[in-house]
Amino acid sequence: MADYQKLIDKEYWDFIHKTNSCYPPDTATRSIEQQRTIYNEMCKAFHAGRPDGLSVENMKIENVPIRIYGKPSEIVVVYFHGGGFVVGDLDSHDDVCAELAHNCELQVISVDYRLSPEHEHPAAYQDALSIVNWALEKNQVILVGDSAGGNLAAAVSGTLRDKIKAQVLIYPGLGGDHNKGSYMTHANAPMLTRDEILFYMSIRKDHFDDPTAKPLLGPFEKLPLTLALAAECDPLHDDCYEYVNKINQFGGRAIALTDKGLTHGHLRARHISKRAGNSFAKICASISAFSKDIWQFN
């Protein structure tokens, strides 16, 4: 098993401890609504604010709430937040989206898709697809998502394929084998365990033969330029490499990279940890490069 005391530096451990302090000991036994409140309060504790002068607008498209950051641009980023399809909303990832819009100089559309258990699969996927199709009416689209949001981005890419300009998947769960590889090596990783992944899956009621729930089932032809960012200390790590390998086997252009010494959820640590900050800078640089049709990886 992994030795996290060696893999993770003190700076990042401080982030882990601060995150854990936001969760009461009985969080897992509380109602879903209470867990959402706890999660949002945790996210609020790390909220870094928005860049000065950034325009922000809330609206609904086909009854799906969205938040639009920045001025109109020919290419837009559609962002799907993480949270296991159970927690998270426009506010939980507000500062992340605001900084992406500012740093990449692109308009960012954050999507408040429906959550489980009230709305089982494919509700979240349908909301994601609806907003992307709406954005495609006027813009080219780059898809970005973290964790569950990375799953949604890949699922939408699998449906729309060559209509999508590029995708950046941040520690996504893509439907890999939960009984081998990183799912076992990092079964008890800080910030996300294998048991927690299985719990979230049971709430969503994933369909085992459905590629819109598990993008690793394909299709892989004509998928867009892809960066899949894996955290070293994360049960989901290997999903990135399996997904990217399949894209490349079908003639696409994709790369998986591992952020050393980081765990699931490290986006919130970007202003606390140098390693997490470097990862976020890589995300922003990659989105900017993709918007200019530049493949910046060897």
Where in the sequence numbering do the catalytic residues fall? Answer: 147, 234, 264
Sign (positive or negative) of CA dihedral 149, 236, 4, 198:
positive
Q: Are 158 and 223 in contact (CB under 8 A)?
A: yes
d(Cα 197, Cα 178) in Å, to the nearest integer?
A: 9
d(Cα 236, Cα 181) in Å, to the nearest integer?
A: 9
Residues with Cβ within 8 Å of 214's Cβ and at least 6 positions away in sequence, in order, are: 174, 175, 206, 208
d(Cα 145, Cα 251) in Å, to the nearest integer?
A: 23
Residue 9 has φ and ψ, to the nearest 5°, of: -85, 170
CA distances in angstroms from 47 to 97, 98, 128, 212, listed in the order given: 11, 11, 24, 31
d(Cα 201, Cα 213) in Å, to the nearest integer?
A: 10
Q: Are 221 and 246 in contact (CB under 8 A)?
A: no
3-state secondary structure of 173: coil
